[in-house]
Structure 1
Amino acid sequence: MSIPTLAQSSFKTQQLTFERVREAYDVKWENLQKELAKEQITGKFILYIAAYKAERRLEIWLKQSTQKQYKLFKVYPFCTLSGVLGPKLKEGDLQTPEGFYHIAAFNPKSNFHLSLGINYPNSVDLLRSANEKPGNHIYIHGNCVTVGCIPLTDEKIKEVYILAVEARNSGQNEIPVHIFPFKITDANLNKHLSAFPQYKAFWTNLQQGYAYFKKYRQVPDVTELMNTYQFK
């Protein structure tokens, strides 16, 4: 966790110069603050986002800097989903990526109301796509249409966007977004591998990150996991 700089502390101020962000704060922030207080989360917090494609579920986990463990704050259902289980392989395949990412862009003037871009393609995606174009522009966004993104509807993205702004403004430069094909229990893994056996090594690797967070309620250091990714 880096120490906030002047540029970081003014991030929220900058975002509030955009009409849609101001409107989101006007209609959502007061109630979000009450919900945060109910969970005994006051002041600055750190954000972790986990998404599960099969369950169509996006989870918001929060903790304060003095706390070791994250706690589940809110769950948002995907409004819709394109593609099937399995990672995104190339541009135009309609797949939602799977893997360990972070928020790389805040778009207050999105074509889909508000959006948070993830750093797809990451290094693993680039290796996997080989000679194919991997595609890009993967977002968590509003509206209810998608060709590989995670849409939540305009009302729900307002809350997620605000929470991301607050975390970023508090000095969290890298907000992790881990996208899993499903909740990777052993039972679920065995069930889904019957239809997608080609992803056994890849999903088993992802399972290590899933299991670590489930056990410790801490975000794993995914660098080593990403360096040992295996796929066909």
Structure 2
Amino acid sequence: MKLRTAIFASLIATVALAGCQGSVFDGVGAKAERELPSKVQAKIKAKGMNKTSPVMARIFKEEGVLEVWKQKTNGRYDMVASYEICKWSGKLGPKFVEGDRQAPEGFYSVSAAQMNPNSQFYLSFNLGFPNAYDRAHGRTGQHLMVHGACSSAGCYSMTDESMSEIYAFGRDAFKGGQRDFQVQAFPFRMTAANMARYKSDPNYEFWAMLKEGYDQFEITKVPPKVDVCGKRYVFNQNFPGQQGISASAACPPMSQPDSIQSAYSSYQKTYDAAFSTAINKSSKKNLAPSIMGIQEAKLVSDWSARRARGEKVSRTPPSLSPASSETPGSPDTAAPTAIAQTPAPAAATTVATSAAVTAQPELDQNVTASVPVPASNPVAAETTPQAVPVVPSPEKKSLWNRMTGQ
């Protein structure tokens, strides 16, 4: 009994520092073999899908939503289910270092080996952080999951009921032959209005890069082929004559199918017009808190390490967000105060890949239909967990609960 207690205590300390760790044991629990509810199966059939056809997932932090998309018999994907994220920790923005409590953002790939039917968090799958992009930027962390139990320290946590269904979607797709499924994790729905709202955010260039993949999925309704070169994500690119590419080295000559280029160009023109209109109406109010780069991530990581060692620390992690009504806050959380509970480490420059703002209007169905279905070849991409915001007012409690796990 003492040995089991010691092992359990050790696991808790590791989770507090590194993220959400699931445990893999022998055997497969009955919960991992539960069938999807009959109403969900009926919806799959009505949408022209097969039970074991491929799936993908999209996560939106600010909206607190995880969507499951499934392939139809015509090769394109359609959303088949949407679940409220019960809790996630940190702020908007990527994960930088282990212990910064950030939930990842980016493009990830989940294989059958990353599925855990015996997780201590009911059921789970590992996002695969750090991926090639994260490693190229020196980002660290491990055990970043989507799991049940409605408790988060850097993961995306669902209710057990929701996780049962999400897990079943992945399990059935693997039984149908899918080798891995893509998870796209975003700070928010990347509409012109939202991009205009966050145009001054320090994470904007990173988000603009992610948006290119977001847009290409909106155009094709097929998970984009994702590669990393030049320390940035590139989408649906071909590399003639290349046996392989390096995430850190400059991108070699590459090309994109003409049909996608044409549709993307049309899409961007519509988006640019919508963005210009939105930027004139955008306000700095009602913004969710976002991480202020690597310096804040290191402060939070140090706070997490000292907390895990049992040292006396502040109830909430340190934040570099200015205490101002102009500061990114959230309609559901109070703006964080500028606190520095630990000495600030030497300032480090956040490596952010620049990308032009890309298109994202409502698409004409004829445009979508004209784009051929590209081959799907997602890569294991992961994001970075973020710091916990301060306690909000009572009327803003709902999103606060999802963000902090309280």
TM-score range, shorter chain: 0.7 to 0.9
Tell me, what secondary structure is at the counterpart of 1:50?
strand
Q: What is the distance in 2 between the residues matched to 1:155 and 1:221?
A: 31
Q: What is the distance in 2 between the residues matched to 1:225 and 1:78?
A: 32
Q: Does 1:45 align with 2:45?
A: no
Tell me, what secondary structure is at the counterpart of 2:109?
strand
Aligned to 2:89: 82
Is residue 209–residue 220 contact of structure 1 (8 Å, CA) maintained in 2?
yes
- Cα gap change, 1:179 to 1:116, in 2 (>3 Å): same
Q: Does 1:231 align with 2:352?
A: yes
Q: What is the distance in 2 between the residues matched to 1:39 and 1:16?
A: 34
Tell me, what secondary structure is at the counterpart of 2:214?
helix
- 1:1-232 superposed matches below 5 A: 17-22=28-33, 24-25=34-35, 28-64=36-72, 66-104=73-111, 105-129=114-138, 134-194=140-200, 196=201, 198-223=202-227, 227-229=231-233, 231=352
Q: What is the distance in 2 between the residues matched to 1:150 and 1:187?
A: 25
Is residue 205–residue 225 contact of structure 1 (8 Å, CA) maintained in 2?
no
Q: Deviations over 1:140-173 (max 9, x none)?
A: 1101110111111100000010110010111111
Tell me, what secondary structure is at the counterpart of 2:205?
helix
Q: Which amino acid aligns with 2:80?
A: F
Aligned to 1:9: none
How many residues matched?
Answer: 209
Tell me, what secondary structure is at the counterpart of 1:223?
strand
Is residue 55–residue 170 contact of structure 2 (8 Å, CA) maintained in 1?
yes
How much has 1:187 moved relative to structure 2? Answer: 2.1
Q: What is the distance in 1 between the residues matched to 2:230 and 2:121?
A: 31
Is residue 126–residue 144 contact of structure 2 (8 Å, CA) maintained in 1?
yes
Tell me, what secondary structure is at the counterpart of 1:129?
coil
Aligned to 1:4: none
Percent identical residues: 32
- Cα gap change, 1:226 to 1:163, in 2 (>3 Å): farther
Q: Deviations over 1:57-109 (max 9, x none)?
A: 11111114x42321110101100121101000111111011111011401011
CA RMSD of aligned residues (A): 2.2
How much has 1:33 moved relative to structure 2? Answer: 2.0
How much has 1:226 moved relative to structure 2? Answer: 7.8
Tell me, what secondary structure is at the counterpart of 1:193?
coil
Q: Which amino acid aligns with 1:189?
A: M
How much has 1:214 moved relative to structure 2? Answer: 1.2
How much has 1:31 moved relative to structure 2? Answer: 4.0
Is residue 44–residue 51 contact of structure 2 (8 Å, CA) maintained in 1?
no
Q: What is the distance in 1 between the residues matched to 2:117 and 2:52?
A: 22
How much has 1:209 moved relative to structure 2? Answer: 0.5
Q: TM-score, normalised by structure 2?
A: 0.48
How much has 1:224 moved relative to structure 2? Answer: 5.2
How much has 1:203 moved relative to structure 2? Answer: 1.0
Q: Which of structure 1's runs of 4+ aligned residues deviate more than 4 A?
A: 224-227
Q: What is the distance in 1 between the residues matched to 2:44 and 2:204?
A: 39
- Cα gap change, 1:226 to 1:186, in 2 (>3 Å): farther
How much has 1:200 moved relative to structure 2? Answer: 2.3
Aligned to 2:333: none
Higher strand content, 1 or 2: 1
Tell me, what secondary structure is at the counterpart of 1:116?
strand
- Cα gap change, 1:144 to 1:43, in 2 (>3 Å): closer
How much has 1:174 moved relative to structure 2? Answer: 1.4
Q: Deviations over 1:12-45 (max 9, x none)?
A: xxx98433213x33xx454432232232323431
- Cα gap change, 1:226 to 1:121, in 2 (>3 Å): farther
Tell me, what secondary structure is at the counterpart of 1:102?
strand
Unaligned 5+ residue runs, structure 2? Answer: 1-25, 234-350, 354-406
Q: What is the distance in 2 between the residues matched to 1:30 and 1:216?
A: 29
How much has 1:137 moved relative to structure 2? Answer: 0.5
Tell me, what secondary structure is at the counterpart of 1:125?
helix
Aligned to 1:10: none
